[in-house]
Chains A and B, each alone.
Chain A
Amino acid sequence: MKYDIILAGVGGQGILSIATIIADAAVNAGLQIKQAEVHGMSQRGGEVESGLRLSDTAIYSDLLPAGSAEMILSMEPMEALRYLPFLSRDGYVITSTAPFRNIPDYPEDAVKKDLEILPHVVGIDIETLARENSMPKSANMILLGAAARHIGILTPEHLKESIARIFGRKGRQIVETNLRAFDMGYAKI
């Protein structure tokens, strides 16, 4: 069994932390993984993407083939659409609904429409949820929680263990906030 995910967002939104947690969980679940990141130039407020491939057999390519992703997980709605050519027929798009407007003429209406016509799409306003629950830095963990039900190759427990491990260095309080964010996202779906 394999599970390919495209993580998308804008530089600085924290998609690499999501990637780190899924990857850590996968290794601890005994899966093969490949996680291709983008560093450098594109991190300055530009589009960023990370391809995550999980499998119980060997994975050769670091890059996803077109039409192969079981999930596009995005911190930003237009960024979710950018990678649609990678989505498999029955793949899920799970995305934040809050536009990140750092460009002129952000096509807000078009983005909404293009998302609505997809067969499997889950939009969730993680920014508002994070703000209202005083966890402004944990929007990405709310999104991960929302995705967890679909990432069948990993259990939510695997992911929560990794949240505890990865954020462990930053102290108990940060771990707890992020676990709470994860649960909140999980409950939303």
Chain B
Amino acid sequence: MTETRLLLGDEAVALGALHAGLKGVYAYPGTPSTEITEFIQKSEAASAAGIHCTWSTNEKTAMEEALGMSYAGCRSMVCMKHVGMNVAADAFVNAAMTGVNGGLVIVAADDPSMHSSQNEQDSRFYGKFAMIPMLEPSTQQEAYEMTGYAFDLSEKEKLPVLLRLTTRLAHSRAAVSVQPGPDSTVRLPAAKDPSSWVLLPGNARKRNDYLTSVQTHLSDIASFSPFTFITGEKDGADTGIIASGTGWNYVMENGAAETGFPVLKIGQYPLPEQKIKEFAASCDNVLVVEDGQPFIEEQVRAIAGSGTRVLGKLTGNLPRTGELNPDSVGKALGKEPVQFYAKPQNIVPRPPALCQGCGHRDVYIALNKVLASYPDARVFADIGCYTLGALPPFCAIDSCVDMGASITMAKGAADAGLYPAVAVIGDSTFTHSGMTGLLDAVNDRSNITVVISDNLTTAMTGGQDSAGTNKFEAICLALGVEPAHVRVVVPLQKNMAEITAVIREEIDYNGVSVIIPRRECMQTLSRKKNKTK
């Protein structure tokens, strides 16, 4: 029975997976991917079916756990934001080498324009790098349908499948017509072929030959995929358009099909080379419209014959950075955007800020107080709400690079003689990828002061459970930090004298110290209060 549901792109993926007989989702939160897992966590049907949906410690553990579930014969899904792919990359690329048993779908949500991210990396390069099939939906409906299709494809080709989303699809809602699937999860016999799963060089070489040998086949099936199709009149046009994902939406919004441009929609990769070759041969110019980096465009340059001019981001027809929009794509199609009212000059930006009453505020007030007497001090911070300490009135941090880099960069700087080298890291970021760096520092007796600002949650992404809650002192001690130098404080204005004294003592100590200011996030606290009302 079909029904209509109003769904975010993320939620459409989640429901598509549930309707395809998913057994488990493994994920670490990250905008714009978080709502996929949260949808499954809130689903009563999923909980009744015993579907795994608790958060993993990071994207790599998530990827490997999902691979294990696939090995055991069930369908599993891994979700992350684009930079999570960097963390999961080792497991991801090698899962293409082992191949899969139960269907394995990896969802990577890219963030062109960096609404909530450090970079604009395009996950499709990872799919090509690992040589696996990839799908890229344009609409919420496709996001739903492609997810089920992805599981079938994964089991048929015995390879992981990458599903690529972008912020605009992930975080936009539309009506989706859905078809509840089997009531039970899919279960195949567990794998037991060590020649595929033990990647010793002798086995791996064979797997590599196999993976390489199926590339033409994978490109051929993309040509005949239900998600690859042409609209508009094909013959006689001098300019054709090749578009994927949200880029295709903007092409259609501008009425491309009605105004006579033939449009080849790409929904599946490796690119359908044959189809592209034929399409390009019928046009003098091909405009490539894709959100992200010029991934299709570069390949179309190689595929199209010399008689076709390939236009896009590399030729300046479309902006090279930032997400596309209906106006930038309209412009590339020769339309001038209409604007009736300009933005008044007096409008000032309203940047995000730490909440009133947030414990991170007290941590930065204390740090700034103490570090005022150490002009050479540097604060290596990390990713989370506390990154907002970079903005006024605090201006308290000197770096923020990737999750975990606070402790390790502080260590490297201390190795070079920088003093005081202070690291500020959140609780969830610490368990995500701060623990291993702390072990390095302990083993070298590096002179660093680590502040684990513990608000008992993963706040930045909306308050998910944090893997290390109640375990931080034990973790630090177990990693070898001296008990006298694991200090817990409560970040409140009234404790300022104590907190600043503790920070000063630990900066003066020559070795690894960990200070844990601990107080619950204001957001999760008020949500809890509302619930019990």
Which A-chain residue is minimally distant from B4 (CB atoms)? A27
Q: Please determine whether B249 and A62 come into contact, CB atoms closer than 8 angstroms.
A: yes
Q: Please determine whether A63 and B353 come into contact, CB atoms closer than 8 angstroms.
A: no
**Chain A residues in 8 Å Cβ range of B116:** 39-42
- CB-defined interface of A66-78 with B at 8 Å, one 1/0 digit per residue? 1110000000001
Q: Is A35 an interface residue (CB 8 A)?
A: yes
Distance of A42 Cα from B113 Cα, bound (Å)? 13
Most buried by A among B115, B174, B385: B174
Q: What are 6 inter-chain pairs, A to B, with CB distance below 8 A? A: A62-B246, A65-B330, A85-B339, A85-B343, A105-B348, A114-B344
Stretch of B83-91, B164-172, B191-199, B298-306 with 4 or more beta carbons under 8 angstroms from chain A = B164-172
Q: Please determine whether B355 and A45 come into contact, CB atoms closer than 8 angstroms.
A: yes
Q: Is A189 an interface residue (CB 8 A)?
A: no
Q: Please determine whether A34 and B342 come into contact, CB atoms closer than 8 angstroms.
A: no
**Chain A residues in 8 Å Cβ range of B354:** 44
Q: Please determine whether A39 and B31 come into contact, CB atoms closer than 8 angstroms.
A: yes
Known: A35-B172, A65-B330. A110 touches B340 (CB 8 A): no
Q: Please determine whether B355 and A44 come into contact, CB atoms closer than 8 angstroms.
A: yes
Instruction: Report which of B174, B253, B344, B353 forms a contact with A45, defined as CB distance below 8 A.
Output: B353
Additional A-B contact list (13), CB under 8 Å, known A23-B6, A32-B174, A60-B250: A24-B6, A33-B175, A36-B171, A46-B353, A59-B174, A60-B249, A62-B169, A65-B337, A66-B337, A66-B338, A84-B341, A105-B348, A111-B347
Q: Is B352 an interface residue (CB 8 A)?
A: yes
Q: How large is the interface on A (under 10, 10 to 19, 20 to 34, 35 or more residues)?
A: 35 or more
Instruction: Report which of A11, A38, A85, A88 forms a contact with B342, defined as CB distance below 8 A.
Output: A85
Q: Please determine whether B352 and A89 come into contact, CB atoms closer than 8 angstroms.
A: no
Most buried by B among A36, A46, A61, A68: A61
Residues of A within 8 A of B (CB): 10-11, 23-24, 27, 32-47, 59-68, 78-79, 81-85, 87-89, 91, 102-103, 105-107, 110-111, 114, 118
Q: Please determine whether B250 and A61 come into contact, CB atoms closer than 8 angstroms.
A: yes
Separation in Å of the B304 CB from the closest CB of chain A? 26
Most buried by B among A60, A62, A65, A67: A62
Q: Please determine whether A102 and B353 come into contact, CB atoms closer than 8 angstroms.
A: yes
Separation in Å of the A94 CB from the closest CB of chain B? 15
Q: Is B527 an interface residue (CB 8 A)?
A: no
Q: Please determine whether B351 and A46 come into contact, CB atoms closer than 8 angstroms.
A: yes
Q: Please determine whether B460 and A63 come into contact, CB atoms closer than 8 angstroms.
A: no
Q: Is B252 an interface residue (CB 8 A)?
A: yes
Known: A67-B337, A82-B347, A84-B341. A39 touches B325 (CB 8 A): no
Distance of A82 Cα from B346 Cα, bound (Å)? 10
**Chain B residues in 8 Å Cβ range of A68:** 338
Q: Please determine whether B342 and A35 come into contact, CB atoms closer than 8 angstroms.
A: no
Q: Please determine whether B340 and A87 come into contact, CB atoms closer than 8 angstroms.
A: yes
Q: Is B485 an interface residue (CB 8 A)?
A: no
Known: A35-B174, A40-B461, A105-B348. A63 touches B168 (CB 8 A): yes
Known: A39-B32, A89-B340. A11 touches B352 (CB 8 A): yes
Known: A33-B174, A88-B340. A40 touches B32 (CB 8 A): yes
**Chain A residues in 8 Å Cβ range of B6:** 23-24, 27, 33
- CB-defined interface of B150-193 with A at 8 Å, one 1/0 digit per residue? 00000000000000000011011111000000000000000000
